[in-house]
Amino acid sequence: MSKRNKIIYWIATVWLSLGMASTGVVQLIKLDEEVDMMNHLGYPVYFLTILGTWKILGVITVLIPKFPLLKEWAYAGFFFAMSGAVFSHAACGDGGKEYFGPVLLLVLTGISWYFRPADRKLPMRVGIEKQ
């Protein structure tokens, strides 16, 4: 992995982790603004606990070494959570400022996943194995 790619990976991953961890904590403590947003979007308030817990666990998974399959699941979870947030805001007719956070975290998820080092990827399997 080139030095440039390593720098891109770590910058994206640190910002992604900070964003996911901070929103996860805010969701876990059920900040009034988050509760209001969940009500506005039509989701039950307990959904905040689920999202917050999975975000914190995803951040831990992405940052620790090894466990490439678990990392794939964490990145997929981040992607589904943030794309779901974008579509939820769109369905409610929200303005542009509500899109900024989810879109930024969605982009950071893609960049971090794309530039991750080889030891954080699943091994490639070529062809079909004979039995």
The two structure tokens encoding residue 95: 């303005």
What is the per-residue pLDDT for 18? 98
Query: For residues 118 and 114, what is the distance between their CA atoms, to the nearest angstrom?
Result: 11
pLDDT score at 130:
55
CA 71, distance to chain mean position in Å, is 11
Q: Which two tokens stand for residue 6?
A: 């390593």
CA distances from 113 to 10, 45, 82, 83, 106 (A): 11, 30, 14, 15, 11
Domain boundaries, given as residue ranges, for the chain? 3-117
What local confidence, expressed as pLDDT, does residue 95 receive? 87
- Its pTM stands at 0.88
Q: Among 109, 124, 80, 78, which Cα is nearest to 9's?
A: 109
User: Mean pLDDT for each 10-residue chunk of the chain (131 residues)?
Assistant: 93 98 97 95 96 97 93 97 96 91 96 92 70 53
Asked if 102 and 82 count as a contact pair (C-beta separation under 8 A), the reply is yes
Position 1 scores a pLDDT of 77
